[in-house]
Amino acid sequence: MLIKRAPDIKSSEITDFQFYLDRRSFLIGMAAMALAPARSATAAVSAGEPLKAKRKEKFAVQDAPTTLKSITTYNNFYEFGVNKDDPSRLAHTLKPRPWTIQVDGHVARPKKYDVEELMRLFPLEERVYRLRCVEGWSMVIPWIGYPLASLIKRAQPTSKAKFVEFTTLLDPAQFPGQRKGLLNFSSLEWPYVEGLRLDEALHPLTLLTFGLYGQVLPNQNGAPVRVVVPWKYGFKSAKSIVRIRFVSEQPKTAWEKATPSEYGFYSNVNPAVDHPRWTQATERRIGEFRRRQTLMFNGYADQVASLYTGMDLKKHY
């Protein structure tokens, strides 16, 4: 992965007060929404609009959330470019609605969903998860979504379904980073493809995500719908997905194709297995000065370690 130094974000930016302010503007937004005429169940929403969700304390880490500003201006989204500020600068070129998500492959009920329908299939939850990028930085993000498992059960995978493949939109007109040219040196093959084993995709922590911080998902964070898999490095959580396909073979992911020796299929957060070019033992939480120890499975070991019993995690990195 191309490493760029983070522009240092002042720690004074990240305070409980900031969180309170963000929270308050969310509540004001909610109040405004309560006064507004009821919208139809399938009406399109847009980025920044308030999105109602029930907070799930069970799925909320105690770490202070990263500021909305950092979450929306310090991004990895190579479809917009390789610099951290490219996604927020260029994300307006993405048109996240209308949007169709195809659920197909080895399932009894394949279906094309409009994103508005998909977003309202199951109750939305707010979950505060840690996100650990393979580059060595981390954030804490209040996501809004529902368990991917709910959608999977609806699709009814057949016995042939062993893995789930996620595909990001391919459209150079909306994604400048997908255009051929001298400035596009990310070396990824488009479209961005990611994958999970079926049991990982079914795990209750795996979230199909439509919003963050009480709002509809900003474009730079993967609008209109992305996956969030909190115990894996951030790149496993594909953004702006158009297809969820159930397959029998382990999918070839974009990062594996680019650099198989550096980015494996599993990519579980593991402080004991270094990246060939840098340590994974510690991380810099955006907004903090001192580095933190990275936790096994990003702190979710109690919930997910049993998925990997008997596996050599140095081999299956």
Ligand X SMILES: Nc1nc2c(c(=O)[nH]1)N[C@H]1C(S)=C(S)[C@@H](COP(=O)(O)O)O[C@H]1N2
User: Residue 76 or residue 280: which is nearer to Mo ion going by CB?
Assistant: 76
Q: Report yes or no: 103 and 227 within 8 Å, Cβ to Cβ.
A: no
User: Residue 18 or residue 88: which is nearer to ligand X going by CB?
Assistant: 88
User: Residue 161 or residue 212: which is nearer to Mo ion going by CB?
Assistant: 212
DSSP symbols for 224-288: S-EEE-TTB-GGGS--SEEEEEEESS----HHHHH-TTT--SS-B--TTS-BTTB--SEEEETT-
Task: List the one residue from 133, 152, 155, 244 that touches Mo ion (CB under 5 A).
Answer: 133
Task: List the one residue from 78, 235, 263, 265 that touches Mo ion (CB under 5 A).
Answer: 235
At residue 303, the 3 state secondary structure works out as helix
294 binds, among ligand X, Mo ion, none (CB under 5 to 8 A by kind): none
Piece of 39-47, 66-74, 232-240, 244-252 that binds Mo ion (CB under 5 A) = 232-240
Q: Minimum CB separation from ligand X for residue 113, in Å?
A: 19
User: Residue 67 or residue 76: which is nearer to Mo ion going by CB?
Assistant: 76
User: What does the alpha-carbon distance between residue 87 and residue 80 come to, in Å, rounded to a whole number?
Assistant: 5
Tokens of 166: 């996620």
Q: Report yes or no: 279 and 270 within 8 Å, Cβ to Cβ.
A: no
Q: Which residues bind ligand X (CB under 6 A)?
A: 75-79, 131, 133, 168, 192, 221-222, 234-235, 237-240
User: Residue 2 or residue 121: which is nearer to Mo ion going by CB?
Assistant: 2
168 binds, among ligand X, Mo ion, none (CB under 5 to 8 A by kind): ligand X
Query: Applying CB under 5 A, does 76 fall inside the site for Mo ion?
Result: yes
Query: Applying CB under 5 A, does 298 fall inside the site for Mo ion?
Result: no
User: In angstroms, what CA-CA distances link 107 with 110, 160, 229, 230, 244?
Assistant: 6, 9, 22, 26, 11
**Cα-to-chain-centroid distance, residue 268:** 14
Interface contacts to Mo ion, rule CB under 5 A: 76, 133, 234-235
